[in-house]
Structure 1
Amino acid sequence: MKQAFGRRFVSLREYLAHPVYDTDGKTVISCYGLDDAGLDPTDADIERIKQGQVPQTLLADSVHYTAATKTVIGTMLYKKMIELGILEQ
Structure 2
Amino acid sequence: MLRIIKKISILIFCCLIIFFVIAVIYHHIMLKIEKDKITHVGTSVEVDGYNMNVYVEGKKSDTEATIVLLSGSGVASPIFDYKILLL
Measured against the shorter chain, the TM-score band is under 0.3
Larger Rg over CA atoms = 2
**TM norm structure 2:** 0.26
